[in-house]
Amino acid sequence: MAHTMTRLLHQESAVPPVLLTVAGSDPTAGAGLQADLKTITALGGYALTVVTAITVQDTQRVHRVVPLPGALVAQQMRCCLAELPVAGIKLGMLATAEIVLAVAEILAQWPAVPVVADPVLAGTGGGTLLDAGGREAMLQHLLPHITLLTPNLPEAAALTGLDLHTASAREEALARLGQQSGQAVLLTGGHLPGAQLTDLLWAQGHLSAFTHARIAGGPFHGTGCTLASAIAVGLAQGMTMATAIERAQRWVRRCMQESLALGHGQRLLHVPQNEAF
C-alpha cells in the first residue's frame, strides 16, 4: 500500500501545468492554435485548445477567415475550465466583437487564472483578424480581465490611436493600455528598424526594457503567438512576470534561429530539439 501511494503521489506531482489557448486555427502551423500547442508542450505544459476561427492561409497571405459563433467559443472554454485544472490562459485571434465579449464573460467567472493576451489584429502577410467592433470591445470589456497584454507596435498604435515613432509616444501607449487593464503590458519592438530591438514592459506603473540583437533572415510567421504562449506557460509554472518574459524571449529567438523556409513567403518558426529552457 505504501509503495502504491508513493507511485500515485509521484504521478500527481509530475502532472504538467494545464494551459488553455483560445485562438484561430492556422493550417501552416506557424501561428495560432498550432503554434501555441507546440510551444506549450515543449516548455513543459499541457495545452487545451479552443478554436475561435478557421483561417485559410499559406506562408504568403491570409486568404479567408471564418469566425465561430461567440456562444460556441464560450462553451468550449466553459467545458475546459469547469472540469480541468487550468493554470493559465493564452488568448490569440478573437476575430469579432461577439467572440471578444463572450471570452470576457467567461474570464470574469475565473478571475484567479492568469491570462496572457496577444491582441491579434492582422496577419503578418495581410488580412484583418479582428474587426473594428472587436477592437473597441477588447479595450472596454476584455482588458480588465488580462494579466499581460503583448501588442506589437502596429497593434498598440491601432488600439491607442497614437503614432508610435517616438520613445515618448510608445511610453504613453503603454501607460494607456496598462491603466485600462490595471495590470501589465509588454510592447514588442520588432517593427522598429535597427540592429537592436527593445521590448518594453509596463507593470504597475513601472517601465522595464529588454534589449536583444535582431535576428536576420525574416520575415517570420508566428512570433507574437509563440511569445505570448511561452509567457503563459512560465506564469503557470510559478515564474515571476520578468522571468517568464525573459525565458519566452530566449525561446522565441531559438525558434526563429531554427525557422524553416518551407514555402514562398514567411519563415515558419520551428521548435528546437533537445534543448532545456
pLDDT digits (tens, 9 = 90+) for 204-262: 888 999 988 888 888 999 999 999 999 999 999 999 999 999 999 999 999 999 999 99
Nearest Cα to 243, choosing from 273, 275, 208, 219?
Answer: 208
Residue 11 lies in a domain: no
How far CA 265 is from CA of 65, 71, 203, 257, in Å, comes to: 19, 35, 36, 17
Within 10 A of 218 (CB to CB), how many other CB atoms are there?
Answer: 14
Give the C-alpha separation, 184 to 151, whole Å: 11
Residue 121 lies in a domain: yes
How far CA 120 is from CA of 24, 97, 171, 172, in Å, comes to: 10, 13, 21, 21
CB distance 48 to 236 below 8 Å: no
Residue 9 lies in a domain: no
In this predicted structure, what is the pLDDT of residue 123?
A: 63
Nearest Cα to 177, choosing from 200, 164, 199, 159?
Answer: 159
In this predicted structure, what is the pLDDT of residue 127?
A: 62
Give the C-alpha separation, 123 to 24, whole Å: 11
Residue 276 lies in a domain: no
Residue type, 204: Q
End-to-end alpha carbon distance in the chain: 37
Residue 275 lies in a domain: no
pTM for this structure?
A: 0.92
Stretches where the chain sits below pLDDT 70 are 1-13, 123-128, 182
Residue 10 lies in a domain: no
In this predicted structure, what is the pLDDT of residue 5?
A: 40
Buried b (16+ CB within 10 A) or exposed e, 88-104: bbbbbbbbbbbbbbbbb
Residue 69 lies in a domain: yes
In this predicted structure, what is the pLDDT of residue 212?
A: 87
In this predicted structure, what is the pLDDT of residue 12?
A: 52
In this predicted structure, what is the pLDDT of residue 3?
A: 46
Question: What's the CATH code of the domain at 57?
Answer: 3.40.1190.20
Asked, as a colleague might, if the bond just before 219 is cis with ω within 30 of 0, I would say yes
Buried b (16+ CB within 10 A) or exposed e, 125-151: beeebbbeebbebbbebbbebbbbbbb
Strands 46-57 and 62-67: antiparallel
Residue 274 lies in a domain: no
CB distance 57 to 266 below 8 Å: no
In this predicted structure, what is the pLDDT of residue 126?
A: 59
Could you list the residue range(s) of the whole structural domain that residue 113 is in?
Answer: 18-268
Q: How many domains does the chain have?
A: 1
